[in-house]
Every structure is written in C-alpha cells, then in structure tokens.
A and B are shown apart, each in its own frame.
Chain A
Amino acid sequence: MQITPEALDILCPMHLLIGPSGQITHAGPTIQKLRRARAITGQRFLDVFTINRPHTMMSVSDLRRATNVKLHLEMRDPPKTALKGIMTPLGSAQDDLILNLSFGISILDGVRDYHLTNADFAATDLAIEMLYLIEAKTAAMEASRRLNLRLQNAKVTAEKQAFTDTLTGLSNRRAMDVALMRLISKDASFAVMHVDLDYFKAVNDTLGHAAGDMVLQTVARVMVEETRETDTVARVGGDEFTLILPGVRDDDTLRRIGNRIIERLQEPVYFQGHACHISASIGTVRVHADQSRSAQDLLSDADLALYASKHAGRARHTFYTPDLRRTFETGEAKNDRGRQPV
C-alpha cells in the first residue's frame, strides 16, 4: 500500500517527513504556516524543533530511538510554540520518519499566533470543537460570574439592612447579638452599656411621633460621637440602646463616657420651635478577659444596673456588682412584687 504526500496533507496537515540524514523532506500545509520567514522543508529537523520529552535529543540516531512514543516539542524560534507529536518509521526501509504534530493544550495560542482557520485542521481534528468549547465555556462562565457579583452585592445590601436600625442608622439587636457573641468567643475584655431614655414617652405623647423620631436620631448621633469607631452602638428597643465597648481598661473611662452621654442628652432638642427634654439612665457591666460569661447573663447584669439607675432617680449611671444582685434579690423577696428589671 502506498500513500501519497497529497493524501497525507489532507489527513494530517500537521505532519513532517524526515529523511535519513535528519533533513525535513516534506511538511504538511499547516506546519508550513508555522514558519513563514523560511521554508521549513530542507532544514535539519533539530535546527527547527527541540524535543524536551521523553528526553533531549541531539542527533539523528537519538531521533530514531524516539519512535512510537508521545513527544513534547517546541519550536526553536519565538514564539516557541509548544507541540506534541508522534513519530514512526515510514515504509519498510526504516530510513524515513513521519512525525505527526498537534498543538495539544496550546491550541488557542497556536491559532492566534499563526492566524489559523478551520481549513488548517483535518476535518476529524477536534481542534475547532475545542476552540468552540473554550469560547462557549468562557462566555457562560463570564455570565455566571456577573450573576454571582450581582447576587453578592444584593446579599451584602440585604445583610446590611438586616443589621441596621432604619430610623437611626445604628446597629439593631441582631447586630448587637453578633458583636457580643464575637467578643465572648474571643474571651476579650469589654463593657456592655445599657442606655434607656428618660421622659421620652412624654415627648412622643405631647409632640407626636415625628418629634420622637427626631429625638431618637439626635440621641443616636450623640452616642456615635461619644464612642469610638470600634464600639457597637445599637438601638435594641423603642428608646433602649446597647453599647458594646471592647478593650476598655478602667471604670473611669466608662464613667466618663456614660456621664458625657447623659450630659449631652439632657441638652434640649428643638422640634418645630418646641424644646424636647429628655435624659438617660445607664447600667454598665464590665467583662474581664477570660471571664467567660454568657451573653444572657451579661445582658441581665446590665439590665439590673440600669434598673438601679432608674430606681435611684434617673439620669444616673450604675455599674453592675454582685452586691447589686444580692440587694436586688433580697429586695425582690421582701416586697414580693415580682418586679422585673427594666
């Protein structure tokens, strides 16, 4: 059986014939496009290509031993296109070799670098399907990526909304819970400050909800101004606020912050010419590092201190102490009214 070079060009447009002395005696039409400056035919094969695997080859005898195994080659000239190939003796003389090449994984670079078209590949070659798949998958991936980005943004916005009190822009109870749990799990030292407005109901009742809302917004601004960026200021109820202050070193600092807040909240807020007077009662509990208290206990302690402030005549700031709880519990038992902390 004799196969003509023309038939080989059609079946394997990327093949080479190598003569007995290692010269390229024929190159398929697509391979010819890989070297435009100089005709590939007539050159020594090893001057045009390097074989990297299975091992480096220097001579024609090396080449002859590299038949029937997968070869990894590279063009010597830039852009040093990587190719894979398989070589086998042609005919019975064993002198001539035929080498069939393919771009393998570097197909995309290949078609770009050499401006190849459908016609440069054998009809049975999967190269075009490969390029189609690369493009199709890239397009689909890009569409998915954009969708993910939009969903991610929507999620961030929704989360932000879910953790924000819409009226004041402060954190809400959910955000406060998260901040508290985070500090507890880190065994950090921090303080929890419960702030409850005094006389707020009177503002609402006499001047209406719009006035009340304005007061709450002013209160929020004051508390943000009197605390640090790292503190959490949350509105946890109608006129109840919780401040979480990580890393506070001493009671004096907390006392100062609390007193400043009370002081500033007592400055009247004007609503349509009417002065709104409020104040605040505060209960604070400090947690030392590695004290491991539950969130529930902490909030209950802060409530108790707040209750003591209210009880002592409002506009006060009370620190929680175990004594406070003992006094409270005996007091509760004595008058047996089942009073709950505020």
Chain B
Amino acid sequence: MSAARAAGLETADFEAMLTYEDELTPRILDGIAQVLERPRSEIMEDLGTYLVSHPDFEPARRLLRFGGVDFEDFLHSLDDLPDRARLAVSDLILPHLELRKHAKGQFSLICEPSIAGYSHVVMGVLRVMADDYGTLAMLESSGCGHGIESLSIRVVEASYAQGRDFRLGAQAG
C-alpha cells in the first residue's frame, strides 16, 4: 500500500485478469523500489523469481515446463513464449524474446521489452527454471540499448542436480 502511495495511486488492488494502463507498471515498480530502498532491477528479478516459485503460481511454472524436456530445450522454447501465452489468454501480450546460441552451453537472450528492465524479470524466471530442471547455469545481464536488453546464459552442467518433478497431466482439470 505504501508503494502504491509512493506511486501516486489510491489503491493497491489489481486484478490479474484485467487490463491496466501500461504506464502504471513502471510507476508501481519505482514506488516499490523507493519504499524498499532497493534498485528497480532487483525488484524486477525478484518478481520473476516469485512468478515461477510461489505455490500460488504453480500453473505458470508447469506451463513453462511444457516448453522443453531439458533446460536447453526450454531456452529454445522462449522464442515461442509470446505465442504460447496468447494461446492461453488472447490479450496477454508478452515482449518478444529471441535466443541465440554461440557455442555449446553459451547463449544470449535478446528481449524487446515494452517496460524497461523486463530482462531482469526474465532472469528471475530463468534462475528458478534452471533449478527446476536441475541445471547449473550462470546468468547475467549483458547490456541494454536501442530498446533492446540482453542476457547472457552459460549452462555449466545440464544435469547438476535432481530437478523438480514434472509429470504431464498432473495438474490440469
């Protein structure tokens, strides 16, 4: 609520299935950053982590897991993520993502975000998903400019640990 106030809003109530004006998101993020006294990029990464690790959002994690049988397969599926999201909710428009493979285990992910710092959200998501697949991966922000943000991803060990269980058909109705 104090973050909403810092953002100059009267309410902190938002509905996931309703559409709000684009300019609200950065305002709220700045509000949170101000109240928590932490950089906005960290807040955004935490947001990404939260979206795929909180039990309330288990469906989101599962839907991402459908993208690939292993972490690398999953990384390649990110290209289709906006299309997949639109399949689920027709007016859910996610920023365009593009994976480039440079060498074995070396990737970069290019984001064209509508909200500055979106790549940090993606980074938070990818860190959790790497754990989910049991993969040891190093992720870092590798720059932004001209409306493009990029991440560099290095897969150190594909089967580093026992990943989280994923069974087809385990969740849905």
B169 interface residue, CB < 8 Å from A? Answer: yes
Nearest CB in chain B: distance from A205 CB, A: 40
The one of A112, A136, A142, A147 in contact with B63, judged by C-beta atoms closer than 8 angstroms, is: A136
Q: Residues of A contacting B17 with CB < 8 Å?
A: 140, 143-144, 147
A132/B63 in contact, CB under 8 A: yes
B146 interface residue, CB < 8 Å from A? Answer: no
B169/A112 in contact, CB under 8 A: yes
Nearest CB in chain A: distance from B82 CB, A: 13
Centre residue among B63, B69, B84, B168 by max chain A CB count within 10 A: B168
Interface residues of A in 120-177 (CB under 8 A from B): 128, 131-140, 142-144, 147, 150
A111/B63 in contact, CB under 8 A: no
A119 interface residue, CB < 8 Å from B? Answer: yes
A147/B15 in contact, CB under 8 A: yes
Interface residues of B (CB under 8 A from A): 15-18, 59-60, 62-63, 66, 69, 84, 87-89, 167-173
Q: What 16 additional pairs, Cβ within 8 angstroms, besides A117-B168, A131-B66? A: A108-B172, A111-B168, A112-B169, A112-B170, A117-B69, A118-B69, A131-B172, A133-B88, A135-B63, A136-B63, A137-B88, A138-B171, A139-B59, A139-B88, A143-B16, A147-B18
B66/A132 in contact, CB under 8 A: yes
Q: Residues of B contacting A138 with CB < 8 Å?
A: 59, 171-173
Q: Residues of A contacting B15 with CB < 8 Å?
A: 147, 150
Q: Residues of A contacting B63 with CB < 8 Å?
A: 132, 135-136, 139
B69/A134 in contact, CB under 8 A: no
**How many pairs of residues, A versus B, come closer than 8 Å at their CB atoms?**
63
C-alpha gap A133/B167 in the complex (Å): 15
Per CB-CB distance, the 8 closest pairs between chain A and chain B, nearest first, are A136-B88, A139-B59, A111-B169, A135-B172, A132-B66, A111-B168, A112-B169, A134-B172
A342 interface residue, CB < 8 Å from B? Answer: no
B16/A147 in contact, CB under 8 A: yes
A115 interface residue, CB < 8 Å from B? Answer: yes
Q: Given A140-B89, A144-B17, are A132 and B169 also a contact pair (CB < 8 Å)?
A: no
Q: Residues of B contacting A140 with CB < 8 Å?
A: 17, 88-89
A58 interface residue, CB < 8 Å from B? Answer: no
Nearest CB in chain B: distance from A111 CB, A: 4
Centre residue among A107, A132, A133 by max chain B CB count within 10 A: A132
Which residue of chain B has its CB nearest to the CB of A137? B88
Which residue of chain A has its CB nearest to the CB of B92? A140
Interface residues of A in 316-337 (CB under 8 A from B): none
B69/A115 in contact, CB under 8 A: no
Q: Residues of A contacting B84 with CB < 8 Å?
A: 132, 136
A312 interface residue, CB < 8 Å from B? Answer: no
